[in-house]
Amino acid sequence: MTDPSFTDKVRSVFEPIEVSDSSRKQVGAVVAAASVVDTLCKEKTPLRMTTMARRLGIAPSSCFNILRTLTQEGIVSFDPKAKTYSIDLGLVSIARNYLTPGGSLRVVGPLLEEFARLREITLVIWRRAGHHMMVVTYFDNGSAVRVHIEPGVRFPILGGAMGRIMAARGGLSSRELKQYFSRVKWEVPIGFDEFIAEAELAGKRGWAFDSGSFNSGIATISTPIDDGSEQVDAVLSATMFSGQHSEDMINTIASELCEVAKLLASVKISRTF
């Protein structure tokens, strides 16, 4: 079965601040300030202090002091004529530390490491590079015997489970599909029609599985990192030894992998990894 504690942890990242776990001791002023910033980030137009105070249930005096402090820190800007507040470049400057190439992965790195240990797998993030897929980074489970791969390694774009995802979501033409498929060296041969049928299935259910056709002895589950672009150019894979997990566990890992991919897509700002 899917581990509720892990999937809940992934999904909690998407929860609004106001519905976060209230069982832990919190500093009211910090929670209120975070709520103010979150609200301003979501709004397309500047807001008045009274509007925010009423919407968030914060005392007007407290809301004013929070906004004044955030303005002094350059996180929020104040329009004295309209008497409205909006997000300022100071917040962008703070975020930039994480949103540099590869930096955004630091936000979710600990969660990916936990996932890898929990299911005894190696997680790999792939990025398209021409007619290849390149390893951006990986997270293994730390065991003595594990699947290992190096960042920068390139594989054929239609190889393995990842290839089925790219065939379904990579925006490749029929001609390109046949051309790139012919270049893949399968250790257990698979026909083009069978490959396309499996790619179509992957497109419908959101993930693909290769039991060892591409690399004998290595099984892989892959899902797209879909940031809303017309074509997918990044893939998240869970790699393990063939026969390591049961069919039920494969389905469980696939479900969890899809949740993690959604999280990665949410931090993939301007293709930062």
What pLDDT, on the 0 to 100 scale, is given for residue 269?
44
Residue 212, token pair as written in the block: 């060892």
Mean pLDDT score of the chain, rounded to an integer?
85
| DSSP-derived secondary structure for 163-207 | HHHHHHHS---HHHHHHHHHT---SS---HHHHHHHHHHHHHHS-
pLDDT tens track for 187-229 = 999 999 999 999 999 999 999 999 999 999 999 999 999 988 8
* pTM for this prediction: 0.66
Q: How many CB atoms lie within 10 A of CB 211?
A: 14
| Alpha helices by DSSP H, the chain | 4-12, 28-42, 49-56, 60-72, 89-96, 105-119, 160-169, 174-182, 192-205, 247-267
Which amino acid appears at position 257 of this protein? L
Which strands, in side-by-side order, build the sheet including 154-156? Answer: 154-156, 132-139, 122-129, 234-241, 218-224, 208-210
Q: How many CB atoms lie within 10 A of CB 89?
A: 11
Class of domain 105-267: alpha beta
Angle at the Cα of 241 from the Cα atoms of 237 and 211, rounded to 5 degrees: 70
The residue ranges of every structural domain in the chain are: 21-96, 105-267
Q: What is the mean pLDDT of residues 170-178?
A: 95
Considering the domain 21-96 in this protein, what is its CATH number? 1.10.10.10
In sequence order, what are the residues at sequence separation of 6 or more whose Cβ sits closer than 8 angstroms to the Cβ of residue 57? none
Instruction: Give the lowest-confidence range in 28-32, 184-188, 210-214.
Output: 28-32
DSSP single-letter state for residue 223: E
What pLDDT, on the 0 to 100 scale, is given for residue 67?
95
pLDDT tens track for 217-272 = 999 999 999 988 878 999 999 999 999 899 999 999 999 999 999 888 877 643 55
166 and 172 Cβ atoms separated by less than 8 Å = yes
Distance CA 157, CA 169 (A): 12
- pLDDT tier at 104 (50, 70, 90 boundaries)? low
Q: What is the mean pLDDT of residues 41-61?
A: 91
Does residue 51 register a pLDDT over 70? yes
Does residue 164 register a pLDDT over 80? yes
Closest by CA position to 234, among listed 140, 124, 125: 125
What pLDDT, on the 0 to 100 scale, is given for residue 136?
87
What pLDDT, on the 0 to 100 scale, is given for residue 19?
43
Does residue 16 register a pLDDT over 80? no
